[in-house]
Structure 1
Amino acid sequence: MQKILFTILFFIPTLIFAQSDKTFTYENKIYLPNIKTVLCYNSNKEQSLPVILLNSAETLTFGFDDLLAGTKNYWYTIEHCTADWQPSRISSIDYLESFNDDRILNYRYSSNTTRKYTHYELTLPNNQIQPKIGGNYLLKVYEDGDLKKPVISQRFYIVDSQVAVAAEVSNSMQVEDRNYKQKINFTINHSIPIANPYQDVKAVVMQNFNPNTAQINTKPSFIRPNQLVYNDLTTNDFWGENEFRKFDTRSLRYKADNVKDIFRDNESVNVMLFQDAPRNTSAFANQYDENGNYFIRNTDGRDDRTESEYTGVLFTLNAPAPSPNGEAYVLGRFNNYTLSKENKLLYDASRKQFYGNILLKQGLYDYEYVWFDKATNTIETKPFEGAFFQTENSYQIFVYYRKPGARWDTLVGYVNLSNKPSDRR
């Protein structure tokens, strides 16, 4: 057991610098192992959701680190997408009033760090890339001006605000689920003519900006003058889940929240977290979290972006495997809630423990453990985290409208709400 622990703890995930895939996928994805810590948010508030208003002063901040350091020739472009994140297949002339692509020229080298890297950053819209219609967009970053060398794909949203969305969070209407699930009811108030709401309007509801939870609404429960009501008894039910677990690596000089040990040598830094226990059988315990978010912070230096260290973070979960055919993962917004080899946990059946080491930049992190059941092809947090109606979650509602005869979906409404009234905005 000591040998296994030593191997995991002092193993920084190896970077295999292989050629990337040949094409982009329409999701948040990193295509090269040397690319880390992709950030994309509304510039008005750090780590807010990547949503901005069309024709406003709002901008998006996008950034990432290259662990190969040095300077690379990174280019980027954006593409308009449908409500379900497929290419709209319209000309760039239809959605851009500027150039099609540009090179990322804003970059800085790391300093005072054990692992060297280069931080790249850009702001959208800018003088070169200016969207002119609302909708879903995919930001594509690629090498040497060659779209066949993908580096990053990142989703973001531009709202052409034409409708208002009123929403509330309540208990599930299903009696057996009232203590475990949260239900979203919402109404779209509009003044635009909608000839066929069942065909022209789609509303996507998401929990904690986790794409794995997205539910698509195509049929309103009631149609009233200038209103579409979505409050069907069986739709938009979400497991309440639990408050996120968290850890704090803002400083590597002392052990902060949930950090058990810090190991440092000339080549790497490793952080061991306290062992986690399953919370599926315990009572709900309220604690403050960031609904899965994370923040890059470094109290030991001056610049969070370029002086923050990369550390191997050891996660340990003391729990039996929920089923014989499945896998456990550590998820959060820091990895876009994506099941990947990097955040997959190893299982020691003799000790009933899961282990994993993930390379992460210094900061504050929310995380949770999930179980991927291969038999049912489902992702669940309940086996490790439990589910409680009392859990504070944020919910995002995106409303899309396609005019009769139009060739693309326009994002015409958006709301971000919480089941805590004081947090709604």
Structure 2
Amino acid sequence: MKNTYPLFVLLMLIVANTFAQSTYDNNVFQSNIKSVEFYNSAKQSSFPAITLGSGDKLLLAFDDLQGGSKNFSYTIEHCDMNWNSSNLSTAEYLKNYTDDKITDFSYSVATVQKYTHYQLKLPNQNVAPKIAGNYILKVYEDDSSKPILTRRMYVIGPKIALSAEIVQSGDVSTRLTNQKINFTLDYGTLRVQNPGNDVRTIIMQNARSETAQLNNQPTYIQGTKLIYNDITLNDFPGGNEFRHFDTRTLKLNSERILHITREDTSNTILLLTDPDRNEPNYSFSYDLNGAFYILNQDGTDPHTDADYAHMYFTLNTKRSPNEGTPYIVGQFNDYKVDDNSKMVYYADKNRFAASILLKQGVYDYTYVWVDKAGKQDDTALEGSFFQTENDYQLLVYYHPAGARWDELVGYTLLNTTKKQ
């Protein structure tokens, strides 16, 4: 499918890719750190956004497969809307302390893979944001310049009213494949002299930063209302429903599980071979919009009694390994297209295959095709349909003339099947 993104969208994607391996993106820097979860504690696997000054909490959870106990510490840093440091002093954006140690940890129980599980809730009495905006959470051992993981978090200071709708693409050529977002914001009493500079919005599909589309100029202005409904704006390929598997138990084969092998030193799970889904017709299936949930129905606390297993994926596609390579991505690996998600072609089976070590639970995943030139295509193996159920995160940033940072003043979650 041809790329219909306008130039400013491509620039936004370049910005996202620039920080793909930086400390200002969602990253894990050590192979022994696994199963990183970061969400609003009101709902597991939700978007990591909280309202400033409310009782909202973000929960960070992760495992260290090296076991034992370590002196992990953390800090948060205020960032602009493009995830560069705001270069503010910590006194300007943090209450109380600049960093703290993670003291909530526990050891795995009765698992083949031994690990130590760590948890952290933010804000807390030691570390809390003072102003609204983007923040990067950095967890490190000994030296803050060498983080073990980073997570993006969103602190909202609501100051605007938002309304939005999801419609079919206005482009006849993409009406059956794309989903378009039109929205209106009312900035009320905010001082807005130049809407193109003072107010900017970002829309993401299923919380994926690489899908972000930036809006600078509104299509129309009506008093304090900014209307964004240009035919070329915020037009997203709908993609397909995510694939999934369920490993809440290692005693029985569930849907999509072909075989489970349990040994003294490791667990191995073979998934059924996945077909190429780039077909002309849409087929509905329930999914988690890319998310994953750590669960163990045979235990009492999945944080510490859920085990790990080597998950073996196989993909049957007519695409040749001479043309490119498929990758397995989802929220579980931050949608990273790298060596850890890369599939290998086996000529004797005429299949692509890969193995990924994952903790028990329910997982969504999808296949991304990367051609020999390095161009990534999310729909080549999955297809794209207007009917696909998706979440969209709409974020509004405010930066009036003379301000020194970007303030996050509005947020709403949209879903293709729900009316606002």
**TM-score, scaled to structure 1:** 0.91
Q: Which residue of 1 aligns with 2:257?
A: 259
Query: Does residue 180 of structure 2 align to residue 183 of structure 1?
Result: yes
Q: Secondary structure at the match of 1:343?
A: coil
* Contact map agreement 1:211 1:337 (CA 8 A) in 2: no
| Amino acid aligned to 1:126 | N
* Contact map agreement 1:24 1:150 (CA 8 A) in 2: no
The change in CA–CA distance for 1:165 and 1:349 in structure 2 (over 3 A counts) is farther
User: 1:215 and 1:327 mapped to 2: Cα distance?
Assistant: 26
Q: Which residue of 1 aligns with 2:16?
A: none
Q: Which residue of 2 aligns with 1:408?
A: 405
Query: Does residue 220 of structure 2 align to residue 222 of structure 1?
Result: yes
Which of the numbers 157, 161, 164 marks the counterpart of 1:160? 157
User: 2:311 and 2:364 mapped to 1: Cα distance?
Assistant: 13
The offset of 1:63, in angstroms, is 1.0
Which of the numbers 91, 94, 98 marks the counterpart of 2:92? 94
Q: Which runs of 5+ in 2 are unaligned?
A: 1-20
Which of the numbers 120, 123, 128 marks the counterpart of 1:130? 128
User: 2:248 and 2:348 mapped to 1: Cα distance?
Assistant: 35
| Amino acid aligned to 1:414 | Y
Q: Which residue of 2 aligns with 1:269?
A: 267
The change in CA–CA distance for 1:322 and 1:193 in structure 2 (over 3 A counts) is farther
Q: Which residue of 2 aligns with 1:12?
A: none
User: 1:55 and 1:257 mapped to 2: Cα distance?
Assistant: 43
* Contact map agreement 1:171 1:182 (CA 8 A) in 2: yes
Of all paired residues, the percent bearing the same amino acid is 45
* Contact map agreement 2:97 2:126 (CA 8 A) in 1: yes
Query: Does residue 81 of structure 2 align to residue 112 of structure 1?
Result: no
Q: Which residue of 1 aligns with 2:333?
A: 335
User: 1:160 and 1:323 mapped to 2: Cα distance?
Assistant: 49
User: 2:167 and 2:202 mapped to 1: Cα distance?
Assistant: 18
Q: Which residue of 2 aligns with 1:170?
A: 167
Query: Does residue 76 of structure 2 align to residue 78 of structure 1?
Result: yes
| Amino acid aligned to 1:409 | D
Q: Secondary structure at the match of 1:93?
A: helix
User: 1:114 and 1:346 mapped to 2: Cα distance?
Assistant: 27
Q: Which residue of 1 aligns with 2:144?
A: 147
Offset from partner CA, 1:161-212 (integer Å, 9 cap, x none): 0012211111100001000111111111121121111111110010011112
Q: Secondary structure at the match of 2:173?
A: helix
The change in CA–CA distance for 1:82 and 1:350 in structure 2 (over 3 A counts) is same
* Contact map agreement 1:320 1:353 (CA 8 A) in 2: no
User: 1:153 and 1:82 mapped to 2: Cα distance?
Assistant: 16
Query: Does residue 302 of structure 2 align to residue 301 of structure 1?
Result: no
Query: Does residue 383 of structure 2 align to residue 386 of structure 1?
Result: yes
Q: Secondary structure at the match of 1:176?
A: helix
Which portions of structure 1, spanning 4 or more consecutive aligned residues, are displaced by more than 3 angstroms?
322-325, 349-352
User: 1:79 and 1:374 mapped to 2: Cα distance?
Assistant: 37
The change in CA–CA distance for 1:123 and 1:203 in structure 2 (over 3 A counts) is same
* Contact map agreement 1:322 1:383 (CA 8 A) in 2: no
The offset of 1:352, in angstroms, is 3.6
Q: Which residue of 2 aligns with 1:14?
A: none
User: 1:211 and 1:112 mapped to 2: Cα distance?
Assistant: 37
Offset from partner CA, 1:52-94 (integer Å, 9 cap, x none): 0000011101111000000011010000001011111111111
Q: Secondary structure at the match of 1:383?
A: coil
User: 1:370 and 1:189 mapped to 2: Cα distance?
Assistant: 38
* Contact map agreement 1:50 1:157 (CA 8 A) in 2: yes
* Contact map agreement 2:197 2:400 (CA 8 A) in 1: no
Aligned residues: 399
| Amino acid aligned to 2:312 | L
User: 1:319 and 1:91 mapped to 2: Cα distance?
Assistant: 53
* Contact map agreement 1:320 1:352 (CA 8 A) in 2: no
Q: Secondary structure at the match of 1:312?
A: strand
| Amino acid aligned to 2:139 | V
The offset of 1:266, in angstroms, is 0.7
User: 2:314 and 2:119 mapped to 1: Cα distance?
Assistant: 33
* Contact map agreement 1:327 1:371 (CA 8 A) in 2: yes
* Contact map agreement 2:23 2:138 (CA 8 A) in 1: no
User: 1:373 and 1:216 mapped to 2: Cα distance?
Assistant: 26
Q: Which residue of 2 aligns with 1:54?
A: 52
| Amino acid aligned to 2:232 | T
| Amino acid aligned to 2:252 | Y
The offset of 1:148, in angstroms, is 2.7
Q: Secondary structure at the match of 2:380?
A: helix
The offset of 1:349, in angstroms, is 4.5
The offset of 1:303, in angstroms, is 0.5
Q: Secondary structure at the match of 1:285?
A: coil
**TM-score, scaled to structure 2:** 0.93
